[in-house]
Amino acid sequence: MLDKCGAKLADALCDNHIIKEENKEIIVYGIDALLSTLINVVIVVGLGLILKLFLPTVVFLISFAVLRVFAGGYHAKTRIGCTASFLTIYLAGMTLQQYTPDIFVKPVTIGLAAISFASVFILAPVEHPNRPYQGNDYQVFKRMSRIIVSLQTLLVIAGTFFMGYENLAYCISLAMLGVTIILALAGKIKVRGE
């Protein structure tokens, strides 16, 4: 269904001479990606509202998305697989955030941030076959993913030790862990040749 929406919109843009015919395929891909992302965001924010975890959900979502854009990682073969993968990461993160005993929140938060920090520095960025790097993209994405994970790690430390936002810092760490998992999955699948 999303393919049809993207194609129809791109056709309309071509017919009205807003885009060139040779750019149509790129526009369709971009519209499809945008709609798919929007659906995932609506589902996750809706779940956050239902679960009464709106603020942790927003912190998790922003932290995950900002790092994921530059770090890359595993991509499911279908939109349903993509949504299911992201929902699994989100629900696992929110479950851990809710049920980790208070005594363990600080050490787990810092531990996850440290593991994720190192993982991003070692593994990121991971290129997507549908969007190969061009020119100096690899170096830009590497630098940006390292800057973002460094800033997130500083936020985690500040939130945990200096600002009294342990639970929100934990959400950032869990989002970082989610990106680390998809980076590791991408590497494992690449090694297996899938």
136-172 tens-digit pLDDT: 989 999 999 999 999 999 999 999 998 889 999 999 9
Q: What is the mean pLDDT of residues 11-28?
A: 81
186 SS3 class: helix
Between CA 119 and CA 170 the distance in angstroms is 17
Q: Identify which of 62, 28, 46 has the alpha carbon closest to the alpha carbon of residue 179.
A: 62
| Nearest residue to 181 (alpha-carbon basis) of 98, 124, 140 | 124
pLDDT of residue 98: 95
Check residue 17 and give its pLDDT: 79
Q: At what angle do helices 54-71 and 137-157 cross, to 10 degrees?
A: 150
pLDDT tens digit string along 68-118?
A: 999 988 877 888 888 899 999 999 999 999 999 999 999 999 999 999 999
Question: According to the model, what pLDDT value does residue 132 have?
Answer: 77
Contact 55, 101 (CB under 8 A): no
Angle between helices 24-50 and 79-99 (to 10 degrees): 30
Q: At what angle do helices 102-123 and 54-71 cross, to 10 degrees?
A: 20
Q: Of 178, 180, 164, 167, nearest to 56 (Cα)?
A: 167
Q: What is the mean pLDDT of residues 107-135?
A: 90
Neighbours of 137 (CB within 10 A): 13
> H helices of 124-136, where?
none
**pTM of the prediction?**
0.86
